[in-house]
Structure 1
């Protein structure tokens, strides 16, 4: 069942235009005395786009959903200037301003979780609650790595793909069909996401929209930059964290090994954590089953938010 009407807009930000998707709920007709439509911002991962989210959106009826292509990704890949967590947070502020949204529940997946935490720190009045999906809290990254080593350690083949070129969309699909994360999770929605990811390389071939340089800059910033450490140290928003036991290659223990995450959460007693067994880093949002778990948490947080506002 179609629950939303989808559109995209381009918002002026530092360095150009930010592409933002808006899913308006089809049942959003407001009667006098009705509570306002809830707003949820969904922030995608390091090499993704807003089209990572349709499965989650479909399970949020009555909710207005806003999801940007972060600068350097998707249709925002021509933005000039440095990325980094603070730049993404500024772009989110501009997005809410342009849509006349005072405050929203913010959900971040993977790198989007780090952006969400930074945004909540820098613009606390614009965020009601946080939902972090396999991201947002410090990763277990060995000290002393250079940029390329850090990117390879965290992202592995995901980073290598950014330098690849493809003759056709079908060839890109074939590349992803061999990916272990999607062996049992190939869908039309995934194909739409992958097709959207491709841009012309200027030489008659196709490449992923996200550049390696942008990915490297953001990966370094979210792991050893000051923006995240400052935000984590002062995390005050109600926060739910979902992690999964399988990583980017469908391998255990995932991005957050239990021992490491336990050490991190010792200093964050207000963060409510749940670990899910049956999904990997991608399918927690890009499969019907994973999206159902994420959407259920979002709905719970919206319900708490609404009760508090009464």
Structure 2
């Protein structure tokens, strides 16, 4: 199902962080009093992941960075890992004058969001975790490179490829199993933004070293496990039933996710039918489902901070 962009206020801000600046995109009202949502993208993505969600969230200021090592933040140095991303996210919120917010994270962004709630608990009102945030469901004993191949596969290989033109990169993505039946204008914008360099040596903007270090950190990293065990804010996990290549097996099996929900009393789980790991945020019906969970969380936030709301 196609999704066409509409006119929506959008601006960028480069936020000072360790080693340089972090590019941040902001959609929605410029009013600092408007409800703010921090949106955190996945391991080889950028802030342009969130264009469709922004359209679904009328009246919300959606703040989304290019994480360290990605997009227009790809020159920032390491160390990488979830703790580093969490501290960068805290800097983003401070730069935009946001004292606390609902935080929505997709894939690796969900892991970074959980760690943000642990390292900077005053900043996070609640979490929406989109097909991520729980330890990777991979066999024990794999090396870091084996984990990368097991989880990311072709996504990791893409980072080493070059493309002669923007059209060539679009063609690469058009036949990707996740997008073959889900191409839309916002996906095209995401793909165009992803490129760095000049023709004929265009390449994806994600820094391979950042991706490799971060993926290793997802596989039982100390910061993540500590953050999950200490989870103290409401969290909704939305699971895509299909995987990164639109395969039948999603990133997480339902039983595995349910085990974590029983273990963590603040975690709720909901499946989003008809979605894969990408389209759960980048096409319908996924973006609408994510927006519904975010609106619910924002509504609860507003109620908590409105005097006499119950009356």
The separation in 1 between residues aligned to 2:272 and 2:9, in whole angstroms, is: 31
Show CA shifts across 1:208-249 (max 9, x none).
Answer: 001222111000012121000000000010111100110000
Question: Does residue 160 of the first structure (1) align with residue 164 of the second (2)?
Answer: no
1:33 matched residue in structure 2: none
1:215 matched residue in structure 2: 211
* Residue 285 of structure 1: how far off its partner (Å): 0.5
1:17 matched residue in structure 2: 21
What SS does the corresponding residue of 1:175 show, helix, strand or coil? helix
Listed as ranges, the gaps of 5+ residues in structure 1 are 31-35
* Residue 3 of structure 1: how far off its partner (Å): 6.5
1:68 matched residue in structure 2: 65
- Correspondence list, 1:103-122, <5 A: 103-122=100-119
Q: 2:263 aligns with which of 263, 267, 274?
A: 267
Question: Does residue 302 of the first structure (1) align with residue 306 of the second (2)?
Answer: no
* Residue 83 of structure 1: how far off its partner (Å): 1.1
The separation in 2 between residues aligned to 1:2 and 1:266, in whole angstroms, is: 41
* Residue 51 of structure 1: how far off its partner (Å): 0.5
2:289 matched residue in structure 1: 293
The separation in 1 between residues aligned to 2:209 and 2:71, in whole angstroms, is: 15
The separation in 2 between residues aligned to 1:121 and 1:8, in whole angstroms, is: 27
Q: Please report the RMSD computed on the Cα atoms of aligned residues, expressed in angstroms.
A: 1.5
What SS does the corresponding residue of 2:28 show, helix, strand or coil? strand
What SS does the corresponding residue of 1:251 show, helix, strand or coil? coil
The separation in 1 between residues aligned to 2:149 and 2:113, in whole angstroms, is: 23
Listed as ranges, the gaps of 5+ residues in structure 2 are 307-311
The separation in 2 between residues aligned to 1:224 and 1:41, in whole angstroms, is: 25
Q: 1:204 to 1:2 in 2, by over 3 A?
A: closer
TM-score of the superposed pair, with normalisation by structure 2: 0.93
* Residue 184 of structure 1: how far off its partner (Å): 1.3
What SS does the corresponding residue of 2:291 show, helix, strand or coil? helix
Does the 8 Å contact 2:26/2:63 carry over to 1? yes
1:126 matched residue in structure 2: 123
* Residue 159 of structure 1: how far off its partner (Å): 0.8
What SS does the corresponding residue of 1:224 show, helix, strand or coil? coil
Question: Does residue 184 of the first structure (1) align with residue 181 of the second (2)?
Answer: yes
Show CA shifts across 1:30-72 (max 9, x none).
Answer: 9xxxxx3111000000000010101100111111110000000
Question: Does residue 230 of the first structure (1) align with residue 226 of the second (2)?
Answer: yes
1:140 matched residue in structure 2: 137
